[in-house]
A and B are shown apart, each in its own frame.
Chain A
Amino acid sequence: MRKGFFVFLLGLLFIIASCGGGGGGGGNQPQPPQGNVLVITSDYSTGSYSILDTENMSSTNNINIIHSDSMGRYFNGKIYIIERLEGDAIIVLDQNDPTTIVTQYSVGNGTNPQDINVIDQNKAYITLYGTNYLLIVNPSTGAELGRIDFSPLADADGIPEMCEMVRYGDYIFVAVQRLDRNNWFAPTDKSYVAVIDTKSDSIVNVIELTGLNPIFMQYNEFTQKILVGEAGSFFDLTDGGIETIDPRTFSAEGFVITESTLGGQISGAFCGIAMADANMGYIIIMDESWNTALVSFDLSTGNKLADIDAPSNGFIHNDIIRVGDKLLLAYREETNPGVRIFNINTATEITPNPINTGLPPITFVIY
């Protein structure tokens, strides 16, 4: 294999197996988000971030260079940028001045961090896609405080593929994909959500999912349930769906909507879900020709409601997030990429043109 293609593949193919980056979080935060939007951008060779002004529909772009495969979270006045495969680091920004990098620390070379969940100023959990342990660190300094062994949950290749996390009370729910690394990350027999007790730093429950390959998790504040997007195989448009988990009973409740009814594949790397209310929400799906579309759905009926932005040529819709009554879409069409804004209740587009974010947007952080 030519080395040039190594470099190229590392730059573009980190996404073959990873987690979504939209929404997430949940739990209690003494300093909740103020509704500001940080947009992480990338052309998959270079990464950066921008600050979006949704009122004036403008953006301050290319603020700092970050790893080309990054996603972000907000906790307690700090923005955490997770630099994933080959970045293997966390960047900390202050909510009041996100243009200045407070600190950057490595979480271990080759570990491929996917998500962070900050309990308080002294403790955070970080999922590592390339290891069989969950890392516990000081979120401000990166100093390692401990590890939680996830090897009992791994498949035959020994790596469980830990992914997104959601906090509910004193518990952290961790998506465990269990993909076969010897077979291009194909799903194996089971996937789980592991429950961590934050007081004892131990696994207290393992929930077996109905489907396979959980790529995103999001706390639905309307129903107090956790929504889990289970993609199954990325090449089977019918084997996945969205399942709910009751965080109070640690139980999986089955699919509330399937890929079959949505009409396409639940997409992987950065596609989360955005809920307008307890039942109506939005998601990005993909068809067999790799065309993506933004669609709405109703969880109460388990049906797709409408195509909001029709399938386009190639992978254009990357991530969505809710900010107040607005739905933000990371739109990556090559000649005119940017952030598009819709009214989340009516699905009507507000932006006349995508808001330019410098490099194309990949995901959002609300802070």
Chain B
Amino acid sequence: MKKKHLLPGLSLKEPGFLMKKFIIFFILAFLFIPSILGAEEVIPLKQIQVEAESIQQKEETTADLSSYTTIIYPDKYKEKARNVAELLSESVGIHLRRFGIANKGGYISIRGSSTEQVTVMLDGVVLNSARYSSVNLADIPLDQIERIEIYRGTSPGKFSAIGMGGVINIITKKAKSKSRGGVRLSYGSFNTFHLGIFESGRIGKLDQLISLSSDHTDGDFPFKDNNATPFNPDDDRITHRKNNKLTSGSLLLKLSTPQKGGKRLTIIEHLFMKKEGVPGIGSNQSKHAYLTSFRNLFNIKLSNDKLPIPRLGMDTEFYYLYLTEKFNDRYGEIGIGNQLNRNQTDTIGGNIIFTYPWKNYQLITFLMGVKWERFKAWDLLADEKELDPQKRVSTTLSFDDEIYLMNNRLILSPTIRYDFYHSEFGGITSFHSFNTESISRNKHTWAAKFGARYKLFNSFFLKSNIGRYYRMPSFYELFGDRGTVVGNPELKPENSINSDIGFVWEGSFRFFKRIFLEYALFYHRYKDLILFIQNSQTTVQARNISEASVWGYEISWGADILNFIKIRGNYTYQDSEDKSSISYWKGNRLAGRPVHEIFNKVEFVWPDYGKLFYELNFIGDYYLDRANFYKVKERTIHNIGITAWYKKERNPTLTFEIKNLTDERSYDFLGYPLPGRAYYLTFNYTF
């Protein structure tokens, strides 16, 4: 029988054909089922979402009404010395793993996921590259951010990418017509310095924003070096972290046309660069190895609500993301021979998003996205310096619906999504490799979610979600590198089924001006997880060899007591289990996932003068390794500080804080000590 092609790359016989039929059926079903159920004509309600810092309900729109979402407004932390990773780590369901001092690396896990399974978006552009799936959140300057949305365990259909653990959506400051600006200056331990400046206002017919940010640290904190002889305490010594400096800078430029005639054009140019020493493990610190990075994100967005079809809205964006890194270890101090490597990733993409209120009780969003990505590498010490590039083209079709029933008390939010990936590699994975043929692979995959939110009574909402998500293998996993990592082009995407249920409530009672409580019970089941397995004496290879489950619950609370006391906090319990068939890991807890994690903050406010604050962060014990041999004992980090401000305007502010008051010492990765007590002074002024 001659194959019939319905869509590019598919035939009747191929599994993807059935998937596409299902998707079309799904879409049609959700367009018509509500009318069968007798849905009323109501104006779709704007998302009411609870802000992480404020417990007051605000009419803010997020991308998914039913998901458990944390929203952080960095401006509310501007008087403190914080970066993005530190801020996120204070949120429920989030665990931060660091390699050392805060500026130098922050990798986030959501609800027990791996860091590669968390998608990070900056102004709608996915920062996770096809080469390396993890994103270092310390590379995103806090001063330039307007809002951070953390979607825990779900991925909104309105986004161009999904994450198995969840999505972190970072939105930079808006260019506004009203003139405003600010400066934040911070200095603290280990010669840590930060300067952030921004200014925004109308220039001619355009709204503009300029923001500059600069950071530096020597990172030379003291730690106890056991000399890699844990059974011999006689050679232990206190030393300092060496070759641990970091200097970075960032520039954000935004131009926007005013909203006119339903149209708005925004152009964003975002530059980031850094140079950092790479000290390696504590017992064998390198003196010379360093890493330089440069990132350029260019983004054009056009929103248009005045299309020929009434009430149809369209958002279009085009972006170009350039990332280059150079790693210099000419002296072979980091342990794998001498290295001088340069990597470059170019990404070009675009999305078109249509929104349409269907019959006044549904809000439909349809997204089409295309992305082209290319990774190139140079081994600058080798005779043959340039590797063949690795490329990927991906297309995305996503349908998202919000269905309003029962006079807006019940909102259903189904999403379905189809993705097609074409990955190719020019040929030689390594001049050592036996395989010199070019490799290309096509993959179809899908994701779906069904969520519900029900208003039980005033300000009390029940929420639940279930969804299927995936992570495509990275170039590194598919094609390897120059010799030690052998590619595996047959890798399947990792996938998971995520589910949660719980409630959100806020109210007031007597002298509690505001009270907030959120509870979510979750369960994630992961399959086809990719691990690197040694496949010869000299090489390793990625394989779909692992499975895992994580279940737990999240509790968030907040209270404003009179006008003087503010309490915010959360507790995360997560029980992870390795369910792979690897006998020596099966049944173990996943590495780097503490069972218990608590954060609580208390502020005592004197409205005319300032505030005292205290933060507690308790992290229960966890294992550093999959074999569950290396256990990090529980630790409690105490932060205290005092902020003084000028009059009731609370501007400017001056804050002195002590982080890690009791000087707790620990590790997130074996051999990489974390700093102890540190002091910071921060000045902030907005105008």
Contact = CB atoms under 8 A, between A and B. Distances in A.
Interface of A: 1-10, 12-17, 43-46, 48, 62, 65, 67, 83, 85-89, 91, 101, 103-106, 109-110, 112, 130, 157, 181-186, 233-235, 267-271, 286, 288-290, 292, 314-315, 332, 334-337, 356, 358-360
Contact of A183 (B383, B533, B534): B383
B537 A315 contact: yes
A68 B337 CA distance: 19
B356 to A, nearest CB: 41
Interface stretch (B410-418, B482-490, B675-683): B482-490
A110 B334 CA distance: 9
Contacts of B383: 183
Given A86-B281, A103-B231, A235-B433, 7 more contacts: A13-B336, A91-B231, A106-B227, A185-B337, A235-B434, A286-B537, A359-B627
B338 interface: yes
Interface in B324-347: 325, 327, 332-338, 341, 343
A186 B432 CA distance: 9
Given A1-B325, A109-B284, A184 B228 contact: no
B300 interface: no
Of B227, B382, B534, chain A has the most CB atoms within 10 Å of the CB of: B534
- Per DSSP, are chain A's interface residues mostly helix, strand or loop, or mixed? loop
A8 B532 contact: yes
B335 A184 contact: no
15 contacts: A1-B341, A3-B278, A4-B115, A12-B540, A13-B484, A13-B540, A16-B337, A65-B629, A67-B228, A181-B332, A270-B537, A314-B535, A315-B536, A334-B583, A335-B583
Interface residues of B, number: 68
A186 B338 CA distance: 12
Top 5 closest pairs, chain A to chain B, by CB: A268-B537, A109-B284, A104-B231, A269-B537, A314-B535
Contacts of A7: 99, 669-672
Contact of B333 (A5, A8, A104, A110): A110
Contact of B235 (A4, A106, A358): A106
A4 B484 contact: no
A130 B669 CA distance: 24
Interface in B300-340: 325, 327, 332-338
Interface string B466-482: 00000000001000001
A109 to B, nearest CB: 4
A9 to B, nearest CB: 6
Contacts of A233: 432
Contacts of A1: 291, 325, 327, 341, 343
Contact of B232 (A103, A332, A359): A103
A46 B381 CA distance: 32
Contact of B629 (A3, A46, A89): A46
B235 A105 contact: yes
A87 B382 CA distance: 28
A45 B627 contact: yes
A180 B595 CA distance: 46
A43 B482 contact: no
B532 A290 contact: no
B235 A9 contact: no
